Amino acid sequence: MNITTYNVNSVRKRLERVLEWVDERKPDVLCLQEIKCVDEEFPRQPFLDRGYQVESFGQKTYNGVALLSRLPMTEVQRDLPWSGDSQSRGIAAQVGGLWVVNLYVPNGGELSSEKYPYKLEWLTKLEAWLRPLAGQPLVVCGDFNIAPADADCYDAEKWRGQVLCTDAERSRFQACLALGLSDAYRRLRPSQRQFTWWDYRGNQFGSNQGLRIDHHLVSEALWPRVLDISVDEEARGRTEASDHAAVTLHLQDFVGGESKLSMPPPAARQVGLFG
């Protein structure tokens, strides 16, 4: 079983490239971010034709996430990590005996903008929402818009103190890990330098001036099934590709049937932005 996170930077604009990638790689579960369309406009049929169940949580022009799976999805949850957020950034479901949570964490804009405190508050609410699930088989993946450490930046000094790399963002990322989750890439490759996003400007992909901001966080209950993780740089280099690479977590197939997992009832997880 494999689970891919892929910020596609507009699913309709890049549909041909996404379908090309799906046909070549055939992911079992595909977590898309930044789909940039409402649910009614999501191009479901091509994915249905390829054997995927499709669940989306879209938004006009901006944001939006979608879950696609060759395996049955149940107990689909939207509007994460709290009910009533004005931005569509989280969706989750049970798939193949585990919870898959797909996130598009806010970028944060500039330090002086209102977007930055919103991002920090969003991450705080995410930690609270994840806490009841952390002991179960769980993958939390997506575009986190956080480079967790200096090793995840092509130029740590240039990025120091900048949004995506601030101490406050990194501390909230670590708070999520402290629930009992592992940054799968870094646990498997403690010293390897690998990026997942490269700005379109200035040929940054060609010169490998990127950041590692797309992650899979894996619970200890699921970790024995982890085999590997891969970053698809080849597809990132294609014409009209997204500025993110697809990142895939490879898991050992579940043996013995799907386990029965429990999600906290929605009412227990609905918390306000500042309270």
Catalogue all structural domains in the chain, each as residue range(s) with its CATH number: 2-254 (3.60.10.10)
Q: Sign (positive/negative) of CA torsion 181, 215, 106, 119?
A: positive
177 backbone dihedrals φ, ψ, rounded to 5°: -60, -35
Q: What is the DSSP pairing of strand 98-104 with strand 138-143? A: parallel
Q: Output the pTM of the full model.
A: 0.92
From residue 209, how far is each of 2, 148, 248 by CA, in Å? 28, 16, 21
pLDDT, one tens digit per residue, over 183-238 is 999 999 999 999 999 999 989 999 999 999 999 999 999 999 999 999 999 999 99
User: What percentage of the chain has pLDDT greater than the value 90?
Assistant: 89
pLDDT, one tens digit per residue, over 98-139 is 999 999 999 999 999 999 999 999 999 999 999 999 999 999
